[in-house]
Structure 1
Amino acid sequence: MKSLKGTQTEKNILTAFAGESQARNRYDFFAAKAKSDGYVLVRDIFQETALQEKEHAKRLFKFLEGGDVEIVGAFPAGIIGATEANLLASAAGENHEHTEMYPSFAAVAEKEGFSEIAAVMRSIAVAEAYHEKRFLALAKDIKEGRMFMREKATVWRCRNCGCLVEGTHAPEMCPACAHPKDHFEELNYTF
């Protein structure tokens, strides 16, 4: 691959790297808040997504060639709010990445002759779209009071021990390991 030095693609990679790195940290902070709010599934989704953002950052970082690169960017300062608000803020960030940032960065990379980088950026955008979808689904369930209840009987799985319980509501306590309700998820939860 030809050198990135001095290209707009180099600047875009560093901008994306910074954004992915910051998102990872925000998601770790939001995971702790979700746990304290009683949403273990949401905590786990934030933690999983944080690791995926780290992998995006790592993949992009490997394209860089060292040295100092000056970039100008705006990044969300954000706050740690209630879990529903954190999910919605996260979904908005993911939406920006997959609808605006990565498509435009990929187009620039293609124009500058970096097809491999463009392909990576388009692939990352696909993951970001899924992140947005999950965050929005979880926020909706919290808003509607559906994290631990359904209209029809379903199977609830304890995320701690794997115990399965059937009903319209997750049990207040796992009958197998005695963990509280916040450790339950619908067995076939789809986003």
Structure 2
Amino acid sequence: MAKKLEGTQTLGNLMKAFAGESQARMRYTYYASRARKDGYNQIEEIFLETADNERAHAKRFFDAILDGIDEQPKMVNVNADYPVALGDTLFNLKEAAAGEHEEHTILYPGFAKIAKEEGFAGISSIFMNIARVEVEHEERYLAFVDNIIKDRVFKRETAVKWKCRNCGYVHDDLVTPDLCPACAHPKNHFEIKAYNW
């Protein structure tokens, strides 16, 4: 029989992590809408993809809670602070990066340490593996911050292949066309073509 979470700090930490990932998911969907409004369709998709990642993280934490309690419903009281922030896309990217940074440098390593000390090695591993994902999220957000600040979202110093996310048209140049020659969608539908095969 698995060790139970009742009366442990790990139970509270799992609930904090579940709540944090859940509210981050919702914030990222709001940030996605703002990115689209600001003309950054690729960043919109990145926020939506990350929101789905956060959903998966929340589920993993929730499942760990369910596995470690005896009866349902179970009320778990947590005292924690969660960010409230919404601005333009640059502001939202910076806020998202800061949240991801806190998760992978402070929160999850601390939660993992406590879980291990309390005899929950598997839960400790969950925290550390999810922290690794948060590193990737932070790096991606900061790269987009840099691209916006340096006006590199739709232009580069050397020619690249820009792909229209709507129709697949590929344009080889320093900058995106104002309108896609194939489908007439505006430049905010272009991103640098990725080769992931």
Instruction: Name the SS for the 1:63 alignment partner.
Output: helix
The whole-number CA distance in structure 1 between the counterparts of 2:168 and 2:108 is 38
Partner of 1:44: 45
Partner of 1:75: 82
- The question of 1:145 aligning with 2:146 is answered no
The whole-number CA distance in structure 1 between the counterparts of 2:3 and 2:105 is 28
Q: What is the aligned-residue RMSD (CA, Å)? A: 1.3
Superposition misfits of 4+ residues, deviation over 6 angstroms:
none
Identity %: 47
The whole-number CA distance in structure 1 between the counterparts of 2:130 and 2:138 is 13
How far did residue 188 of structure 1 move?
A: 3.6
The whole-number CA distance in structure 1 between the counterparts of 2:158 and 2:194 is 14
Partner deviation per Cα, 1:126-175 (whole Å, 9 max, x = no partner): 00000000000001101111100001111001111211110000111111
How far did residue 189 of structure 1 move?
A: 8.8
**Partner AA of 1:68 in structure 2:** M
How far did residue 55 of structure 1 move?
A: 0.4
Report the count of equivalent residues. 189
- The question of 1:106 aligning with 2:107 is answered no
1:42–1:136 distance in 2 versus 1, CA, 3 Å? same
**Partner AA of 1:104 in structure 2:** G
Structure 1 unaligned blocks of 5 or more: none
Partner of 2:27: 26
The whole-number CA distance in structure 1 between the counterparts of 2:99 and 2:5 is 27
TM-score (norm 2): 0.93
